[in-house]
Amino acid sequence: MKKIFFNIIAIIALALVSAPAMAQYELEQGPSSYPDLPPDHWAYEAVTFLTDNKVVVGYPDGLYRPDQKVTRAEFSTMVIKALGLYEKETPKLFEYSDIENHWANRNIQVASYYGLVNGYPNSMFKPNADVTRIEALLVVLNALKPEPLDAEQARNFVSIYQDYTEIPNWALIQAGQAQMLGLVYNTPGHETTLEPLRPATRGELAKFIYNMLEAVQKIPSDKLKDEVKKTKSETGYVLDNVYYDEDYAVIPEGTILPMTIDTCMNTAKVQEGQEFVAKAPYNFVTREKLIVVPVGLAVSGKVHKVTRPHKFLSNGSMALTISNVIDNKGHEDLQVVSAVGERKADMRIIRNDPYLTRTRYNVVRGQNEYIHKGQRIDFVLLEPLRVKVYNKDDM
């Protein structure tokens, strides 16, 4: 049996901070029936993916309405559809007093059976109440089995937000775990606040679910591990289309390598030359289950170039470079020669006013760009990555 060791000849990569990499899918063109969701919208990729997979639908007028609020019943339905549980028959184990004649009764029962949603202490579910951002994050986290955190560790993860003290005590640890796993999405212009008690929008929930679907392939909850259709190997994140050239495995151009960043950065304050560390959050493997990049691989990097946000002049952007491996797990021949990524500010959201949102971004300018500690950034290879392959006998 072969084992993969590493000799990375060259990497040039583009860092994207937006949606998670879904290596097993090719995103189709978005539905033309969503005129309010153009390709440059922050929720476009997530909504398109979920629409293609029949998780979400638009309104009769053809709009998606990404800023619309969502009820607890509607979100329960979205989540079980996303996880492939919609057709499941489950025993009725939960006696909620306010859902007996509700259209989502069965869907809420299914979501409850798999431990995704919970009711209130008074035996009510409140199906028609708006789901808040913290409630939604706890639901997507319930689909997973994250590493345990104590209250202090959780607080360290969420203290990057100015309003982290608004997180209810009962949700603090889960909020920290959600931040640690990259499940949180903050709309452009609101990166410094978590807004845990604000009702979540259809666009935000699409992003939460999209992030959840990536994570559930690797760390499903105990109740879901036998239910979720595995499209990735148990050993890690599967890289499609890897091919072999004699003693080398070749990861082709365009492959996405998601990495997590250990430093908070924003274009208003970050300095050129500032150092950071990026890590592989899990093993990157071939479909033959051979590891090509090991979990925990740490790569040093620097901020190569910064464009400060200036009103009426420019929105913020930053270019990141990585140059060498810090922790090669004992494989001395693993080297990263070069990698670079550029990230531009997203359109800052002025709630419920898309016209002013576009005007501020394109005319007023001055948008900042944020990267949070623990946030996952997708590096897209711009040229093939050749990895040396050794037989076990050569070790």
**Can you read off the two tokens belonging to residue 218?**
């690797």
pLDDT, position 327: 64
Beta bridge mates, 3 = 390
- Helices and strands (H, E) in the chain, number of each type: 8, 16
Q: Which amino acid is at 241?
A: N
Per-residue pLDDT of the chain (395 residues; tens, 9 = 90+): 444 434 443 343 444 433 333 333 333 333 445 888 887 788 888 898 898 888 998 888 888 999 999 999 999 999 999 999 998 888 888 889 999 999 999 999 999 999 999 999 889 999 999 999 999 999 999 999 998 999 999 999 999 899 999 999 999 999 999 998 889 998 888 888 999 999 999 999 999 999 998 888 888 999 998 776 544 444 567 787 888 887 778 888 888 777 888 888 888 889 999 998 888 877 788 877 777 877 778 888 888 889 898 888 888 888 787 777 776 555 545 555 456 667 777 776 676 676 777 777 777 788 888 777 777 777 777 777 777 764 433 33
Q: What pLDDT, on the 0 to 100 scale, is given for residue 104?
A: 94
Torsion over CA: 258, 262, 266, 272 (sign): negative
Give the pLDDT of residue 22: 36
Q: What percent helix, strand, coil does the chain show, rounded to 5? A: 25, 20, 55
- For residue 153, give the H/E element and its range: helix 151-158
**Domains along the sequence of the chain with CATH:** 2-20+233-394 (2.40.128.260), 44-216 (no CATH)
Query: What pLDDT shows up at residue 265?
Result: 86
Q: What is the 3-state secondary structure (H, E, C) of 292-354?
A: EECCCCEEEEEEEEEECCEECCECCEEEEEEEEEEECCCCCCCCCCCEEEEEECCCCCCCCCH
Under a CB-based contact definition with an 8 Å cutoff, are residues 216 and 143 in contact? yes
Taking each helix axis from N to C terminus, what angle separates 202-216 and 133-142, rounded to the nearest 10 degrees? Answer: 20
Q: Rounded distance, CA 75 to CA 335, Å? A: 45
Structure confidence at residue 319 (pLDDT):
79
DSSP 8-state assignment for residue 209:
H
Q: What is the pLDDT of residue 334?
A: 54
pTM: 0.61
User: Can you tell me which residue has the tokens 């495995």?
Assistant: 249
